[in-house]
Chains A and B, each alone.
Chain A
Amino acid sequence: MYAFEIERPTTLDAAKAAIADGGQALSGGQTLIPTLKARLADPEKLVSLHNIPELKGISTDGDGRICIKGATVHRAVADGASGYPALASLAARIGDPAVRTRGTIGGSLANNDPSACYPAGVLASGAVIVTDRREIAADDYFLGMFDTALDEGEIIIEVKFPVPQVACYEKFIQPASRFPLVAVFVAKFADGVRVAITGASGEGVFRWTAAEEALSANFTPEALDGIAMDSSPMIADLHGDKAYRAHLCSVMAKRAVKNAK
């Protein structure tokens, strides 16, 4: 690792000031520390978000949305988001217990790994990402692999999830990394179904609109029979080629519909 300083502010205002002064946010470090070790980043100063009470916790707002603060760790969501069981279950399956003790929702969304779990939950729920500057709808937030609508130094404060009638996250695990090889989040709302897929496309998380239309008309696994997934944008690597990933999208989406609750 290159050398850097660490600051540990205890208020959001102090963190904002330190980041505005050229610091980079350090949340759980479960992505950033491996990145620093590989010398793929060279910050002068890291600003830990771990000791800021304003950035931790889970609540329900007046519209019934589950609101999760940016530096809330995966384990706290797994244990505490009982109002949205499919989301709690997603958090409970991220990485391993030590990753869940440190890793946070804000870090995961800022990083936007093309195989990360939270982006699928956020996009399928039509959640809203609240930053220190504005609110960003999930549909406008994910801009491609490791790319988001966040500006330089913008901090994720909170994520607000509308709670669907039923939902399910089905993760086909890549056992070496424990990330999804392909995972599908299906959420059924009164006004329609949303389907988001992670791990499959080189562009990162995306909505499968053909499946959404079919499921909005008929919420059964069979409704997805015969709906083809275009394999051309799929990731191909030693774990699976494009056709394999495209096939998994359909299989995991059907499982998610079957198991949605």
Chain B
Amino acid sequence: MKVSMEVNGRAVSGDIEGRTLLVDFLREGLHLTGTHVGCDTSQCGACTVHVDGAQVKACTIFAAEAEGAKITTIEGVAAPDGTLSTVQQAFQDYHGLQCGFCTPGMVMAATSLLKDNPKPTEAEIRHHLDGNICRCTGYHNIIKAIMAASGQEMPALAAE
């Protein structure tokens, strides 16, 4: 079947099967490999993208269900000239990543949090990241980065 959608502001279409996941359409159909597949079992959030502005696990939605939708992936977050978004820059500045595998999902989740809640508390950030797993950082620097991206003083985090 045919599917059409807007990805990072660009109209795209492709031939898919009913069972094609959105993440496979993005990665294999459009070669947008920034969206990662960590678990493929809906647990890790590495595949997080925005569908019509809302945070979705791209491994847990079919491409056919995104017909007509506006999708934003990690490739669509920086400015066209390559300037990083506030959240991306904060991840760099505060060492919010090590291997970087979880980072696309973390940035998409954090961006969606700050859109709804521009000044979250540390607890709200942690609650929002419930579905995003990082095997490297221990999360502290991710929390710091998101705090900084929201323009807030960094909290005195436990176990630093």
Which among B48, B51, B112, B131 is the interface contact of A95 at CB below 8 angstroms? Answer: B131
Interface of chain B: mostly helix, strand, loop or mixed:
mixed
* A227 adjacent to chain B (CB < 8 Å): no
Establish whether residues A102 and B61, one from each chain, have CB atoms under 8 Å apart when the complex forms. yes
Which among A5, A37, A46 is the interface contact of B40 at CB below 8 angstroms? Answer: A37
- Closest CB of chain B to A27's CB: distance in Å? 11
Establish whether residues B40 and A101, one from each chain, have CB atoms under 8 Å apart when the complex forms. no
Which among B41, B109, B130, B132 is the interface contact of A34 at CB below 8 angstroms? Answer: B41
**Residue tally, chain B, CB below 8 Å to A:** 29
Contacts of A5 in B (CB 8 A): 1, 18
- Closest CB of chain B to A160's CB: distance in Å? 27
Contacts of B17 in A (CB 8 A): 3
Establish whether residues B19 and A101, one from each chain, have CB atoms under 8 Å apart when the complex forms. no
- Closest CB of chain A to B17's CB: distance in Å? 6
Q: How far is the CA of A75 from the CA of B113 in the complex (A)?
A: 13
Q: Give the contact stretch, choosing among B4-12, B62-70, B137-145.
A: B62-70
Establish whether residues A48 and B65, one from each chain, have CB atoms under 8 Å apart when the complex forms. yes
Interface string of B17-47 (1 = CB under 8 A from A): 1110100000000000000000011100100
* A178 adjacent to chain B (CB < 8 Å): yes
Q: How far is the CA of A2 from the CA of B17 in the complex (A)?
A: 11
State the B residues within 8 Å of A (CB).
Answer: 1, 17-19, 21, 40-42, 45, 48, 51, 54-57, 59-62, 64-65, 67, 109, 112-113, 128, 130-132
Closest 10 CB pairs between A and B? A96-B131, A96-B130, A6-B18, A6-B64, A101-B54, A1-B19, A98-B57, A5-B18, A4-B18, A98-B55
Q: A29-B62, A33-B59 are in contact. List 15 more A-B contacts (CB 8 A).
A: A2-B19, A3-B17, A4-B19, A29-B60, A34-B41, A34-B60, A36-B19, A96-B130, A96-B131, A97-B112, A97-B130, A98-B45, A98-B56, A98-B109, A101-B56
State the A residues within 8 Å of B (CB).
Answer: 1-6, 8, 26, 29-30, 33-34, 36-37, 46, 48, 50, 75, 95-99, 101-102, 178
